[in-house]
Every structure is written in structure tokens, then in C-alpha cells.
């Protein structure tokens, strides 16, 4: 059984964690995967994006390795094995200081990947990417769901990604599409 | 018994460490937690924010691991076990060079988290976030206290954070609130 | 037998991985090297450039070391030894936030090299380097192919690089050429 | 016996190392500490600020650990135990490229602290902080001496720092002073 | 016998590696040092500055430690012990993206130093430091040679650096000179 870890924040203005859990359940079903038999999901919520890297690391290494507080499995079990992949779900505010925070969190997520040798899909929505609150809400939902599918593909069907190599895929907004080799 | 480590600076213009200690004591009591029985607090003061990461690391790893100077437990004991969580309390000045220092300190706090696998709540107040000295003082106090509660939740009640996932919580200023899923 | 690892993305607007595989095969033949006897190639595709560093690390350390999902050898074998060198192929978008992502990915690729003590050739094309889509497609193709040759030289003929020391070589656009020692 | 390590550069326009040695000797005497009995000082000079992090690391780990060149104890002994704290003394030039160098050196000093779990007091003077050369010379001297006292306090009297928590201490220029808790 | 490692690039527009080798030979002779008896030199050439950090690391750790391709000793021997110091010789282009690359390479060179506990002298020439190609050529040559002398001093005569502490030394352009202690 594969485990997918999901970490999100109280800072974000959208419940990204629930969207990810919902999409993984739906898409997993379409791929013929059963929760419990084929995959499990662990979720943890932290205050802000800077708390995500160590939270993801602890999800990936599992409870036995986790020496920090606050990691709980969805099933409420006291301990869980490490996840095979994690999603780091967060929002980056519009102020300059927020952008620096986003950069610091991303840098640390990168390090957590190298230290665990596992993938963490960073799903960050920037508050200033959308023009209206409605569009922002839409973006939160779409990006999270498209990356949830990526997470499933990386664990169960990496050939789905190989098939799309260099095709300009985007998460949230419209895909950019491929270019010809040119001159 | 859980330990909460608190590191602050002589550079900051507000006694953030005392505010954190006071709030943890108050909130802990409201949560039915007794100091000594349920939790202990260790505090250390360093010159500036760049001295916080290694100070927090030593708080998290405890005296036996600490090979550096200056770490003392509040109780004046010669040695202490490692803390379960730490708070890094500091002020970032308004000059460009100060902002770079803040970024360097944050980056290193991130690394200290990954190296210890424990959370460090970074509570930084930027000197230019407030318009008056009175507002700045207020911000120092509020942000420190709201994060002190986060620290308690992370150790004792992670479900309080899960319940607030994606609800736009802020520390210091007013909360931003949640968005709808949009279009 | 030497192994060359190739990691690319679904985000890029050009199939950089196939260009690299094709060029290595062609150039290898010209150098008298036979695929299977002298070298093998492993390829993996990930969503974006931030997923490249850990993918390259897993290519370099091999399947036995890889604890993450999604790494497969080209030959479809369940496991493979570590590669001797890797190519990280990706596109950096034109927006500010994309440039920051590029920087984060590059920083992490650097770390992956130091952790494995092996070279990763970073082949990034910036969306705003070219004036037209045709030129961009050309750049994708040329840069990837010129670095594919570098990869072969680093593994099989480092003297080809020594011979070109300080000669202003470029990948994609025209070479800059050498300067005289001056005054 | 405690050891204080001092690393400075040939790039700086002021002999910061000698100022630090002199101040530690003076202040130590005032604190009733005797050199040789209570503390020792090790000094090393490197070309520029980017050479300081590894120099400090080697001072903190001692000769037995040092595998690099150029570390010598003040007493001229062939080997020395690791220092308890180090001071990284340097000047950051006024050009943009110099500021980036300063950032790189600072980032690495942070890492050296986490790797050794010891404090390194970073004492950097920026060439453009002062309006005249006389003021710059004054700043070099004052900042170095005030941080030399911090170093002594961290090793011998951490309570001197606790007492000044949140009081707006500065090194070189006038202190900023504390704020009230506000509204 | 001490070993000095030299890494340079095909990207640079000046043969920095040959200048370094030549200067070390000359200056070594003046210091009464004989190549073969007192010191050896290892050289490797890589494509660009981002390939320098891991190349330097492998030079410092020696062939037995090197698991990557492309490291060869000057003497053509199949293996060599680790170098005592390394020089990272490279050019940073004038475009914004080149400056970011330079920063990434520098950050990684810092890390390689901390991981090996040995010094790497970073000798980077920025394409926009000089006004003419002739001046740029001169700068390449002078900076490389002045740092080659620093490398020799660090290994054989650290007291030459101590003697110049705080005297405003520069490599390439004129020295800045020392300041008085001021007011």
C-alpha cells in the first residue's frame, strides 16, 4: 500500500487539503485504485508555508522517525509508516515580505526532498495571481486538483508523465502547449 | 512532560520572550495544562536574529547535545533534555541590509528544522510593518502571543490547527478569512 | 558500462529529453561508443523544474537507493545501478515567480551534485531568451544537444573540455570566443 | 579554559582582528577572567569574507578536525582544541556584487553554526554604512569591540544578554531602545 | 607534498587555469618550493561555473572519493590523493540570468568548503567589471595570478596573510588600503 502525505496551512484562504484528499479519492477510483488496499492518505495542518517543509519531511519519514509534534495520520493511528510522496499546499501573500517567505519555504522543501530522496509536490498559490477573489478561489481548487493527479501518476503511473514530456502542461491555468523544433 | 524552547534577542525593541512565556502560561492553564507536570519552558537570549537558528537548534537538541555556549534552562538547571518545539522571536530592521539579514536567519531556521525534524515557529516583526511606535509595540505583543498559542496547539492539540485549515488565519493583524471555491 | 541519466518535465514546451537521447546516441556512435556495451541511458519525466533535483539525485544513486516514486529505467527494468552523470532538462517561464522557481531548482541541483559527488548538467531554457517561438524551439533543441555532447565528453573524453578551457564556449547561441591577456 | 576564535580578512580596510583581541583582553580582565587560565584566543586571517565560514568552522572544530590549510593558534602551537565561539570579522564592499558576496558569506556562516552547533558572531561592516572614512574607521572599531563583549558574555555570562532582551541594543551606532506594548 | 587543485571552465573567455598553473610554478620557485617535492597541481576543466563546485569538491577529496566523471590529475595518473586547497576559476556573464548563475555557483562553493573543511578560493571575473576587452583580459590574468599567490600563502605561509590583516588588499585592481580607527 502506498501512502500520500498532505500538508496544508491555516494561513491559506482556501481549504487546499480537503480539495487534494477529495481529488485523490476520485481520481484513484477512476484509475482502479482502492483506498486502504492500494493507497492511504495522511494529512497535517500547520500555521504557514514556512512550517510545511519539516511537516512534509515528517510525513515522508513516518511517525517513528518524526520527533516533532503535530503529525497525525488521517486514520487517527498513533503511528504510521513514511509516505511515498507528499504535497505541500500553501498560499503566498501579495506583499514583498510574503514573497520572500515563499522563497524560503520552497528552498527548504527542495532540501527536504534531497534529504528523504522522495518527491514533494509544491502547490503554492500566489495571492496576486488572480484578479478577483472568485478567480483566486478557482485557482486554488484547480491547481490543487491537477497536482493531486500528478501525485497519483508519480506513484502509480509515471508513464503518464513521460507521455506528456515537453508538452507545456500547466496546473490551474490553461496549458501552454508544445513548440516545434524551429529553424 | 513537553518542553517549549524560547529564543529571543537583545536587538528587538520589545521583550518578546517574556510575552511568549506569559502567554504560554496563561493559555496552558486554560487548556488544563500545568507547568512542571505537562510542560516546561526553556529560554535563551542572543544578540540578533542571525544568532537565533543555532540557539533554537541547541534548545531542540538539549544540553547534552549543545556544544555551544549560552544555553540555559529557565530553571537554572545545568542540563535539560531537548525541547519539543521552539519559538524564534526577533525583529527585522527597516534597512535593506536588515531585510537580507532576516532572509538569512529564516533560511537557517528552515535548515535547523530539517536537521532536528522539529518545528521552530518563526515570529519575526518587521520594523516597517507598523506606522507608529505604538502600533509596532502592539504588533510585537499580539504576534508573539498568537504564535505562542500555535506552539501549544502543535504540541498538545494539532486538531485545533486542522479545524482552521485554509481559513486565512493571521498573527498580529486581523485574519483574512476563507474564500469560496469560485467559478 | 557508463550510465547517463536524463530528467525532463511536462512543463517545458519542447521534448528536451528526446533530443538529448537522440544526440547522445548519434554523438556516441561518432565517438565509437556502442549503446549497451559502452553506455546506457535512463530517463524520467517529472511535472516541473522543481521536481528535477530529487529526480536527478535518484538517477545518480540508482534504484536501490531510490526510495521515491517515479524513477524507471528506459529499458523498463525494475532496478538500475546509479548513473555516472545526469542532465536536468527544463524550461524557466518568463514571469518573475518563474525566475524564482528556476533559482530554487538550480540551488537544489547544486546540492544534489555535492551530495552525490557527481555532475548534473543543468540545461535550462528561459522562455524570454528568444524573440519568437521558432527561435525558442531552435534554442531548446541546440542547447540540449550541445550539452548532451558535454555530458559524453565529461564521462568519456574530459580532455575535449581541457582543450577548450577559457575559449568562450556557449550552448545554444554562438560561442563568445577567447580574449587576449590584455595590457 | 574556554577558547574564542577570531577570523578576519586582508580585504577589510581596518584591522578588526587586533581590535577584537584587544577588547577581549580588556573586558575579560574587567570580568575577572585571566587569559591562559580562563580563556584563550585563536586567530586566523584569510583573503576575503567568503573565506571566513570555513575558517570559523575549522577554528570551532580545532586542529585535529581541520583538514584545511592556514589555521594556526595564536600561541603558535601546532594543534589546538576547538573554540567555544568564533567571531567572523569582515567588510562588505559598496558595489552590488560585493553585497551578494556578503549574503553568500552570511548564508555559509549560518550553515557552519548549525554544523558545529556553536555560535559564530558575524561582525560585518558595510563600506557604505558611513559617510566619511573617519566615520567608517570608527564604526569598524566600535562594532568589533561591542561584539567582542557579546562573545565574552555568551561564553561566560549569558545572563547579561537575558537582562537586555528586547531592549534595542545596537553594535557600532547608538542603541534603538525598547518600545512599550502599545495600544 | 601539498596538492593544489585548479578547476576552470570552457565558458570563460580567458584560459584562467593556465595562468594559475604558471603563477603557482613561478611564485613557488621564489618561495623556494619545488614542484614534485613540495607541491603538486591537479587541473580539471568543466563547461561552466555551475559545474565548478562539485569539480572542486572532487579535487579536494581525491580520486578515491570521487565517484563522478571527469577528474584527472595533471600527471595523468589514474588516481590522486585529495588536494589541500582548490581554486575555482570562472567568468560570470553580464546578463541578469548570468549573475544569478554566479550566485548559485558561489553558494555551492561555500557548501563544498564546509563539507570538506578545506578552502576553495573563488576567482570569478564578471564580464561587466571592465570597460574594454583588453582591460577584461588584463583583469582575468591579474586576479587569477594574485589569488594563485594567496593559495600558496594559505598552504605554506599563512603568516603572510596575518601580516596583511585589514589592509584593504584587492585582487586584480589596485588595493584599497587601510583606514585609521577614526574619531
- pLDDT of chain A, 183 residues: tens digit per residue: 999 999 999 999 999 999 999 999 999 999 999 999 999 999 999 999 999 999 999 999 996 444 444 444 444 444 568 999 999 999 999 999 999 999 999 999 999 999 999 999 999 999 999 999 999 999 999 999 999 999 999 999 999 999 999 999 999 989 999 998 754
Chains interfacing with A (3 or more CB pairs < 8 Å): B, C
By Cβ distance, the residue of D129, D155, D179 closest to B69 is: D155
Round to whole Å and give the CA distance between A79 and A84. 16
Across the interface, do B54 and D113 touch by the CB < 8 Å criterion?
A: yes
Residues contacting residue C66 through CB under 8 Å, at least 6 positions apart: A117, C58
pLDDT at C173: 87
Round to whole Å and give the CA distance between D145 and E68. 46
Residue D180 phi/psi, 5° resolution?
-80, 165
Site from E84, E110, E175 to mutate, D interface, most D CB atoms within 10 angstroms = E110
Say yes or no: D62 contacts chain E, CB-CB below 8 A.
no
Residues contacting residue A79 through CB under 8 Å, at least 6 positions apart: A62, A63, A64, A73
pLDDT at A114: 98
Secondary structure (H, E, C), chain B = CEEEEEEEECCCCCCHHHHHHHHHHHHHHHCCCCECCCEEEEEEEECCHHHHHHHHHHHHHCCCCCCCCCCCCCCCCCCCCCCCEEEEEEEECCCHHHHHHHHHHHHHHHHHHHHHCCCEEEEEEEHHHCCCHHHHHHHHHHHHHHHHHHHHHHHHCHHHHHHCCCCCCCCCCCCCCCCCCCC
pLDDT digits (tens, 9 = 90+) for D96-147: 999 999 999 999 999 999 999 999 999 999 999 999 999 999 999 999 999 9
pLDDT at C182: 59
Say yes or no: D57 contacts chain E, CB-CB below 8 A.
yes
ipTM given for this complex: 0.91
pLDDT at B81: 84
By Cβ distance, the residue of E69, E137, E139 closest to C180 is: E137
pLDDT digits (tens, 9 = 90+) for E60-75: 999 644 444 444 444 4
For A133-147, C94-108, D60-74, E115-129, which range has the lowest pLDDT when averaged over its residues?
D60-74
Which residue from E minimizes the CA distance to C126? E97
Site from E13, E71, E88, E138 to mutate, C interface, most C CB atoms within 10 angstroms = E13
pLDDT at A79: 57
Place of cell 542532465: C87
Beta partners for residue B44, in sequence order: B7
For D61-65, E101-105, E168-172, which range has the lowest pLDDT when averaged over its residues?
D61-65
By Cβ distance, the residue of D15, D68, D108 closest to E117 is: D68
- State the pTM of this model: 0.93
**Cβ-based contacts of B61 with chain D (< 8 Å):** 117
Residue B78 phi/psi, 5° resolution?
-70, -25
Across the interface, do C158 and E43 touch by the CB < 8 Å criterion?
A: no
**Cβ-based contacts of B68 with chain D (< 8 Å):** 84-85, 116-119
pLDDT digits (tens, 9 = 90+) for C59-98: 999 964 444 444 444 444 445 689 999 999 999 999 999 9
Average pLDDT over residues E37-58: 98
Q: How confident is the model at residue E78 (pLDDT cuts 50, 70, 90)?
A: very low
Q: How confident is the model at residue B124 (pLDDT cuts 50, 70, 90)?
A: very high
Across the interface, do B108 and D114 touch by the CB < 8 Å criterion?
A: yes
Gap from C141 CA to chain A (nearest CA, Å): 6
Round to whole Å and give the CA distance between B67 and B64. 8
Across the interface, do B117 and A65 touch by the CB < 8 Å criterion?
A: yes
Residues contacting residue D77 through CB under 8 Å, at least 6 positions apart: none
pLDDT at D70: 44
Place of cell 559598496: D94
From residue C148, alpha-carbon distances to B1, C109, C122, C161 in Å are 57, 17, 11, 13
Say yes or no: D69 contacts chain B, CB-CB below 8 A.
no
D75 has a pLDDT exceeding 50: no
Gap from A1 CA to chain C (nearest CA, Å): 13
Q: How far apart are the first and last CA of chain A?
A: 49
E105 has a pLDDT exceeding 80: yes
Gap from B8 CA to chain D (nearest CA, Å): 7
By Cβ distance, the residue of D10, D57, D66 closest to E164 is: D10
B61 has a pLDDT exceeding 50: yes
Say yes or no: C144 contacts chain A, CB-CB below 8 A.
no
D81 has a pLDDT exceeding 60: yes
3-state secondary structure at position C119: coil
Across the interface, do E67 and C114 touch by the CB < 8 Å criterion?
A: no
**Cβ-based contacts of B100 with chain D (< 8 Å):** 99, 102-103, 106
Chains interfacing with C (3 or more CB pairs < 8 Å): A, E
Place of cell 515563499: A102
Across the interface, do B178 and A135 touch by the CB < 8 Å criterion?
A: no
Say yes or no: C86 contacts chain A, CB-CB below 8 A.
no
**Cβ-based contacts of C122 with chain E (< 8 Å):** 50
Length of chain C as a residue count: 183
Amino acid at each position: 500500500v502506498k501512502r500520500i502525505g498532505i500538508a496544508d496551512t491555516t494561513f491559506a484562504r482556501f481549504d487546499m487539503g480537503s480539495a487534494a484528499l477529495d481529488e485523490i479519492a476520485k481520481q484513484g477510483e477512476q484509475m482502479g485504485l482502492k483506498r486502504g488496499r492500494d493507497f492511504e492518505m495522511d494529512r497535517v495542518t500547520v500555521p504557514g508555508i514556512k512550517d510545511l517543509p519539516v511537516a512534509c519531511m515528517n510525513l515522508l519519514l513516518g511517525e517513528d522517525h518524526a520527533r516533532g509534534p503535530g503529525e497525525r495520520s488521517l486514520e487517527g493511528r498513533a503511528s504510521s509508516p513514511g509516505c511515498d510522496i507528499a504535497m505541500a499546499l500553501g498560499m503566498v501573500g501579495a506583499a514583498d515580505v510574503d514573497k520572500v517567505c515563499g522563497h524560503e519555504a520552497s528552498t527548504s522543501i527542495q532540501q527536504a526532498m534531497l534529504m528523504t530522496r522522495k518527491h514533494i509536490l509544491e502547490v503554492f498559490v500566489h495571492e496576486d495571481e488572480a484578479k478577483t477573489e472568485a478567480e483566486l478561489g478557482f485557482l486554488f481548487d484547480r491547481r490543487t486538483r491537477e497536482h493531486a493527479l500528478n501525485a497519483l501518476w508519480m506513484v502509480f503511473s509515471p508513464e503518464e508523465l513521460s507521455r506528456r514530456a515537453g508538452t507545456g502542461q500547466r496546473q490551474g491555468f490553461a496549458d501552454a502547449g508544445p513548440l516545434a523544433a524551429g529553424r
